């Protein structure tokens, strides 16, 4: 613990404290209507930089530009074209041009050294997240890394310990936590509509082969965009590489780390066929990539057990042709919700068959979505990209904890290495670490409590 850093020391440099908000250039967009529900009573601003502004980082910048109380002082990317692209995006939205950082892989440190930045979002390739997260925390910034899966449990612990030592929050930018149906289900669960929870299902079921190979059947050095770096993980690894979209909302619904926790999991992978078939179809049988043996099983099924005795099943299914689905299911002693047929059944309903979820979503609309609908839905992924960046920005602006905290964040990330371990050991059960060191027993839920953020 020799490197333990006092929170106050960090807060001295580079936070909102002591900065007059009126001194700060503003991104307030002329002509853009501010959502009625988002503004605080004062004119403070959240100053948020974005590191990594490719496709997903660009979404984050866009989400931030929608918010009148956010300033984007700086953006960083190894690719200067992407920096220029989002600089223009901010200017077009009426904000001051952010400083661009594009001078090699460590230029982000220069961004972090600035004391006019309160928080950073990180949307670089997965391998860089932990290094950048730790650096951001040590520079006294709120930190919002994009979603992925971790590589080791140790990096999860490093993130936890550094957040604890610096006092700086970490919020995984999981947009699915903010999906409308999922938030309505959360609302219903908290009102006891489903009774005592028993079982959940979720997953990332998304045909992303066109992301893994671009152009055509290329990836790696010949690939473009995410195909440059993401696809190699499918070559070398076998596990649930992307658990958070399914797990994010389910974890809040099942109070994970807030009165509950995961205790163990098993994970089982199928053979790998989808990627090779895609390469052969799009590159031909003589393509240099045609005979590659991929490490990642096409479908990975993970079964988690909770301290309260529930089970959660997560599917990872990204290499095969299929419609998008998160396989959502939330089941308790009084009924269940199912995403795939947009249905619900509650005890006593007649006939004893699936009923449409639509009227229930309306009846139990989450306050956050009530406000969002009133203000006007905006942003990518049905508005969820806006809500997630807004939640982070509000926490930064108000200097309060993020609604998804560091323990929630690493809990989601940790599924990946645990899944890999279980598969490598023939689906043996593996223990799920308690990253809270027992705090989960008394922690109250912090996510989606009201219509604020």
At closest approach, how far in Å is the CB of 300 from a second copy? 9
Q: List residues near a second copy by CB under 8 A.
A: 195-196, 198-199, 207, 264, 266, 268-271, 273-274, 277, 297-299, 301, 303, 305, 308-311, 313, 317, 320-324, 331-336, 338, 340-341, 345-348, 352-354, 426-429
CB of 350 to a second copy, least distance (A): 11
Q: Smallest Cα–Cα separation from 118: which of 233, 16, 199? A: 16
Q: Which residue, 19 or 313, is less far from a second copy as judged by CB?
A: 313
- Residue 99 three-state SS: strand
* Least distance between a second copy and beta carbon 290 (Å): 15
Residue 116, C-beta contacts closer than 8 angstroms, at least 6 positions apart: 14, 19, 24, 47, 73
Rounded CA-CA distance 258/442 in Å is 7
Smallest separation (angstroms) from a second copy to the CB of 433 = 16
Q: Which is nearer to a second copy, 57 or 332 (CB)?
A: 332
Beta carbon nearer to a second copy, 120 or 269: 269
* CB-nearer residue toward a second copy: 238 or 389: 238
Contact 383, 30 (CB under 8 A): no
CB of 348 to a second copy, least distance (A): 7
In angstroms, what is the minimal distance from the CB of 56 to a second copy? 21
136 versus 275: smaller Cβ distance to a second copy: 275
Please report where in the chains the tokens 């306050």 appear, as a residue.
367
**Minimum CB–partner distance for residue 241 and a second copy (Å):** 16
Q: How far is the CB of 40 from a second copy (least distance, A)?
A: 40
- Residue of 26, 1, 150 lying closest to 93 (CA atoms): 26
- Torsion sign, CA atoms 241, 246, 252, 258: negative
Q: Are 44 and 70 in contact (CB under 8 A)?
A: no
User: Tokens 């971790």 sit at which residue?
Assistant: 150
Please say which residue, 39 or 270, places its beta carbon nearer to a second copy.
270
Minimum CB distance to a second copy smaller for 195 or for 295: 195
53-72 burial string, b = 16+ CB within 10 Å, else e? bbebbbbbbbbbbbbbbbbb
50/241 with CB nearer a second copy: 241
> What b/e readout covers 210-219, taking b as 16+ CB neighbours within 10 angstroms?
ebbbbeebbb
- Give the number of other CB atoms < 10 A from CB of residue 281: 12
Given the complex with a second copy, which of 120 and 247 has the nearer CB atom?
247
- Could you tell me which of 382, 394, 369 has the C-alpha nearest to residue 144? 394
Q: Which residue has the tokens 């007649």?
A: 350
State in angstroms the smallest separation of the CB of 299 from a second copy.
Answer: 4
DSSP-based three-state secondary structure for 119: strand
**Of residues 94, 152, 145, the one with CA closest to residue 123:** 145
**Minimum CB distance to a second copy smaller for 6 or for 333:** 333
CB of 187 to a second copy, least distance (A): 20
Integer Cα distance of 244 and 123 in angstroms:
15
């Amino acid at each position: 613990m020799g490197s333990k850093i006092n929170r106050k020391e960090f807060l001295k440099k580079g936070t909102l404290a002591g900065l007059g908000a009126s001194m700060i250039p503003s991104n307030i967009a002329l002509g853009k209507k501010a959502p009625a529900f988002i503004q605080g009573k004062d004119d403070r601003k959240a100053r948020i930089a974005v590191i990594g502004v490719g496709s997903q980082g660009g979404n984050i910048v866009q989400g931030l530009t929608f918010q009148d109380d956010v300033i984007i002082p700086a953006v960083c990317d190894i690719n200067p074209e992407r920096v220029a692209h989002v600089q223009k995006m901010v200017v077009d939205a009426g904000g001051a041009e952010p400083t661009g950082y594009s001078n090699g892989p460590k230029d982000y440190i220069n961004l972090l050294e600035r004391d006019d930045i309160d928080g950073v979002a990180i949307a670089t390739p997965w391998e860089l997240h932990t290094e950048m997260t730790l650096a951001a925390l040590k520079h006294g910034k709120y930190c919002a890394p994009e979603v992925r899966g971790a590589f080791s449990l140790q990096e999860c612990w490093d993130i936890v310990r550094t957040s604890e030592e610096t006092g700086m929050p970490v919020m995984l930018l999981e947009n699915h936590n903010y999906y409308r149906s999922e938030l309505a289900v959360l609302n219903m669960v908290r009102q006891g509509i489903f009774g005592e929870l028993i079982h959940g299902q979720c997953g990332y079921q998304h045909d992303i082969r066109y992301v893994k190979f671009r152009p055509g059947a290329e990836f790696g050095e010949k690939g473009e965009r995410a195909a440059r770096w993401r696809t190699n993980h499918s070559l070398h690894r076998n596990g649930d590489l992307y658990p958070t979209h399914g797990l994010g909302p389910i974890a809040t619904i099942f109070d994970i780390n807030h009165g509950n926790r995961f205790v163990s999991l098993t994970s089982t992978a199928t053979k790998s066929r989808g990627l090779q078939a895609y390469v052969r179809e799009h590159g031909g049988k003589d393509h240099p990539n045609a005979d590659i043996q991929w490490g990642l099983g096409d479908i990975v099924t993970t079964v988690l057990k909770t301290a309260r005795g529930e089970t959660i099943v997560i599917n990872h299914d990204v290499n095969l042709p299929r419609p998008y689905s998160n396989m959502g299911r939330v089941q308790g002693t009084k009924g269940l919700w199912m995403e795939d047929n947009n249905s619900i059944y509650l005890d006593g309903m007649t006939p004893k068959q699936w009923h449409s979820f639509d009227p229930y979503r309306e009846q139990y609309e989450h306050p956050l979505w009530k406000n969002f609908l009133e203000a006007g839905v905006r942003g990518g992924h049905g508005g969820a990209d806006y809500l997630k960046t807004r939640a982070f920005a509000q926490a930064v602006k108000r200097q309060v904890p993020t609604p998804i905290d560091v323990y929630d964040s690493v809990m989601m990330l940790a599924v990946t290495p645990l899944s890999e371990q279980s598969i490598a050991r023939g689906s043996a059960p593996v223990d799920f670490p308690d990253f809270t060191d027992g705090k989960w027993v008394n922690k109250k839920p912090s996510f989606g409590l009201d219509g604020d953020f």
